[in-house]
Amino acid sequence: MMFDYSIAHWVTFLTAAVLLNLSPGPDMAFILAQTAKRGVQSGFSAMFGIWTGAFIHVIFAALGLSAILATSAVAFTAVKWIGAAYLIWLGIQALRSKGTNLSVNGQVSPKGLKKIFQQGVLVAVLNPKVAIFFLAFLPQFTEVGAGPVSAQLFLHGSLIIVVAAFVEPPLVIVGGKLTGYLNNNTHISRWMDRGLGVLFVWLGIKLATSDRI
């Protein structure tokens, strides 16, 4: 029967999915930083961008394309360096900030929200560790007789994003409470950007020096 799993299977998977979504990393850092800096709207735009990038990885895993990154040192290194360069570039942009933001009269412009969304997609997509993780994590929850392996991978990968929809929005809403303090204080805003810049440069260097394992 298609997608016929036990209760124990779902308890194990959903527990792992919650812990995964709570774990720190470039994705969560980007979402919370955008929230604190520019408000809940920006936080949700960043979040939707990250989810879109994650969903692309789910599709890659289901189609077997992530296996290329796992088995090809050249492919992994290429994506890794592109991702690391992008994170470092984001960090340098933040370090150069003078405390300004993308908002107008307290509201982020549609153009600004689109830019944040696009950045979120790239932050997720250009992290090969995510692709390798999905490739290593999702197959553990495939079962004989529960349907095509690709369909099972797609189901469980999509459900990780569904779980994120319950975990991350409350974090964005709570983080948004910091925005009021930052919007009206350019000095604090500038140091917030510098802190964010250091974080992303560090994450970029960490990704650049990482192995596939």
83-104: pLDDT as tens digits? 788 778 877 877 776 655 444 4
Q: Distance between CA 135 and CA 118 in Å, rounded?
A: 24
Contact 76, 212 (CB under 8 A): yes
pLDDT digits (tens, 9 = 90+) for 125-170: 887 767 777 777 777 788 888 888 888 889 999 999 999 999 899 9
Q: Name the residue ranges covered by the structural domains of the chain.
A: 8-72+99-184
Q: Distance between CA 148 and CA 2 in Å, rounded?
A: 8
Tell me the percentage of the chain whose pLDDT exceeds 70: 79
> Cα dihedral angle (183, 185, 187, 191), rounded to 10 degrees?
-40
Query: What DSSP letter does each residue of 60-102 carry, written as one string?
Result: HHHHTTHHHHHH-HHHHHHHHHHHHHHHHHHHHHHHT--S--S
Q: Identify the helix (H) or strand (E) that includes residue 113.
A: helix 110-125
